[in-house]
Amino acid sequence: MFSSFKSGILYTVLASFFFVIIACTHDADQYKIQGIDVSHYQKIIDWKTVAKQEKIHFAFIKATESVDYQDSIFQKNWEGAKDAGLIRGAYHFFRPNVSVEWQIKNFTQQVQLEKGDLPPVLDVEDFKNVTKEALIERVRLWLIFIEDHYKVRPIIYASMKHYEDYLQLAFPEYPVWIARYNQIEPPKNMDWIFWQYSDQRTMKGIRGKVDKNVFAGTLSELKALCLD
């Protein structure tokens, strides 16, 4: 009897596990507009091959980090994504404990946006050695100056937990790109427009793993988000 009981428990656990995986896959797969985000970690990308794959419409590309780091193949990726016909966007990895002004300068010197490009993204995932108040103040400064420079409201990227704990109440007016892996999609009350649902996918044209994302609207709505 005890063996049967254990078998029943094991079956229930496994069934629940596979249900979560299936539900998670369904949640991401139900979105017709999907894309990737990349940096030098993906090395040289065959953008033409990437763009030929079903549902892949956009790519976010790392441009800069902190005050003086530029991604070594940003320009190659930036031009490659455009030439392949993908909607492209650039992001900056934010370091809250160094000069915001120099981080702004670093990004704007590297990224020249054109008509049809997505708004700039501020990647906020470094929360070490900074108070919540200081973080919010510095993030706000970056967002304000970048919006003034490019004449478009930037997008905030963060994990779901960090967005809830630090940023949601402070920046309700900004579009949001939420990272949440291996779970059901982020709650709708976050008003997210992009969801990074995996960092472990593979695809033709890219060596190794790549992050996958979905857009919460239609292709026409994605294009409407881009610069005029």
What is the domain partition of the chain in residue ranges?
1-30, 33-225
Q: CA 198 to CA 221: how far, in whole Å?
A: 23
Question: What local confidence, expressed as pLDDT, does residue 23 receive?
Answer: 39
Q: What is the pLDDT of residues 161-198, one digit of tens each?
A: 999 999 999 999 999 999 999 668 888 788 899 999 99
Q: State the catalytic residues.
A: 37, 125
Q: What is the pLDDT of residues 3-30, one digit of tens each?
A: 443 334 333 333 333 333 333 445 888 8
Confidence label for 92 from pLDDT (cuts 50, 70 and 90):
very high
Arithmetic mean of pLDDT, 69-74:
97
Question: What local confidence, expressed as pLDDT, does residue 188 receive?
Answer: 78
Q: CA 76 to CA 143: how far, in whole Å?
A: 26
Which architecture, in CATH terms, is 33-225? Alpha-Beta Barrel (3.20)
Question: What local confidence, expressed as pLDDT, does residue 184 receive?
Answer: 81
Arithmetic mean of pLDDT, 135-141:
98
pLDDT at 71 over 90: yes
pLDDT averaged over the chain? 89
